[in-house]
Amino acid sequence: MKNNVGKTDKMIRLILALAIALCYYFNMITGTLATVLLIVAIALALTSFLNFCPAYALFGFNTKEK
């Protein structure tokens, strides 16, 4: 796995994941939407920690600074 997630992209992903988690915690989202968004939040956090996004690799994107 070649790193393809830059610092700014990483921070945006973490902030979005945290926002989704907080919305779930405070019952602002419920039901199926909550489940789907939690899966998205987990994916965002995981790709942020791994510095690798499979979708970026598939489409040839790279936000990592050289």
For 18, how many CA atoms within 13 A lie in the half-sphere containing its CB? 7
Hey, where are the domains in the chain?
A: 7-52
Query: What pTM does this model have?
Result: 0.89
Mean confidence (pLDDT) of the chain = 96
Reply yes or no on whether the pLDDT at 36 is more than 80. Answer: yes
Mean of the pLDDT values across residues 32-51?
97
| pLDDT the model gives residue 22 | 98
pLDDT value, residue 1: 82
Average pLDDT rounded to a whole number, residues 48-59: 95
Nearest to 18 by CA among 34, 35, 52, 42: 42
Q: What percent of the chain has pLDDT over 70?
A: 100
